[in-house]
Structure 1
């Protein structure tokens, strides 16, 4: 029984360690939030992360722009945050429910205004500019700005990662979206049938590029997320792929 007890304790501790690694910001942190009005309920249709139409990219109304402090030059794109309204009896929805949003845009600073009066996204303030629909799930829409708590959480995605092709004959770029688990891509490699594995550089947001002609060959991708996990999707795009097309790959799974 002693050996069995030790084994069970080891497995519990191992699981706990993996949970800590999967998203490093488990504790609730203080920040503020506002919302951007949009007739379709999403934040915007073109954002700094490059996802394009947020409804088509599956992020939809559960999207948010992050201040400079949180955006981290685009590396936070695709990350998921749980947000709840706190400490405001007039503005917070009763019961303090939470909502999970995806980082899809950059909330630009306005240094002509004070951080307390309009310069919500000025450095080093931590601020979320939410979609109107997501904001309404935690606070009353007549609120100007609300105090919140937030924490990183794993992303729940339906289907596999998506790879959208763009570029030209000697400049290849891929947009990676619908990433599960951490959601935050930190490294990408691409491989054609006539090449080895080629490291790609972040162009902007979650657009990654390399200066190689990859046309007329099937493409495979190796994607690494912020926790260090790597997933390889082989032959995602067929040899006759075209710029503008989107293909599905594997998905990071929760343990």
Structure 2
């Protein structure tokens, strides 16, 4: 009996996923903030276009995230599933905090474990620690440079973005890699589909981070994209790429409100 119930659940889940991508407009409930939790935050150096990394955004300014970004420890990064998610962070150490300022950051990178260092002395991102390694400009909004590391409160929040979802296609005529960025609402993309004016809807596979792949031949076609996020919301961007698009170009589609 348990087997039949599990199978029925899997079929129902797959059907819901399929139906969500057939709806040709935005379906997005208002994302709720999660409860406050405790973690720590450090910062890393770098120029404005090097705050991308493990999510595949490369240039976070180009993709709409600015420098309010962070690399997440393994416990938060979840093998790249957290890419694009937004967190509100508050410094929790009176000596080094800059007032009561809070900061909303986007997850754009992974802070890898350092097993050679103690988790409380250099191995800040070792499992099972929940840790934020912030871009330096973001860190300095909530804490003093001298502190190096500060305890923080954090919670998941809805992402507010300027403009539409950004789609960038790289690769070659036989392999297409689509970067999906500047996503509002949940921010966490869990499914992407593409349709050409000559080809039906096709589901893309996650390659890594927020890069999604397909072997369906797309060149020379007008392209539409459908995106689903972790809260079950979906949005369809119709005819977002013109037929004369080229590899490396970025076009904007319909975002979540």
CA distance in 2, matches of 1:139, 1:43: 22
Are residues 1:113 and 2:117 paired?
Answer: yes
Work out whether residues 51 and 109 of structure 2, in 8 Å CA contact, stay in contact via their aligned partners in 1: no
Structure 1 residues 43 and 80: CA distance shift in structure 2, 3 A: farther
Partner of 1:13: none
Partner of 1:82: 88
Aligned residue pairs total 229
Kindly report which structure 2 residues correspond to 1:154-165, keeping only aligned pairs within 5 A, or say none. Answer: 154-165=158-169
Tell me, which stretches of 5 or more residues in structure 2 are unaligned? Answer: 1-28
CA distance in 1, matches of 2:234, 2:49: 30
1:193, distance to aligned residue in structure 2 (A): 1.2
Structure 1 residues 89 and 46: CA distance shift in structure 2, 3 A: closer
Partner of 1:49: 55
1:108-143 CA-partner distances (Å, limit 9, x unpaired): 110111110101111111000001111111111111
Equivalent of 2:229, from 199, 215, 225?
225
Kindly report which structure 2 residues correspond to 1:114-133, keeping only aligned pairs within 5 A, or say none. Answer: 114-133=118-137
Are residues 1:37 and 2:48 paired?
Answer: no
Name the Cα RMSD after superposition: 1.3
Larger relative contact order, structure 1 or 2 (CA cutoff 8 Å, min sep 6): 2
1:56, distance to aligned residue in structure 2 (A): 2.1
1:37, distance to aligned residue in structure 2 (A): 1.8
1:61, distance to aligned residue in structure 2 (A): 1.5
For normalisation by structure 1, the TM-score amounts to: 0.87
Partner SS for 1:72:
helix
CA distance in 1, matches of 2:73, 2:34: 19
Tell me, which stretches of 5 or more residues in structure 1 are unaligned? Answer: 1-17
1:151-171 CA-partner distances (Å, limit 9, x unpaired): 011111111100001111121
CA distance in 2, matches of 1:47, 1:155: 20
1:68-94 CA-partner distances (Å, limit 9, x unpaired): 0000111111111000011x2211122
Partner SS for 2:145:
coil
For normalisation by structure 2, the TM-score amounts to: 0.86
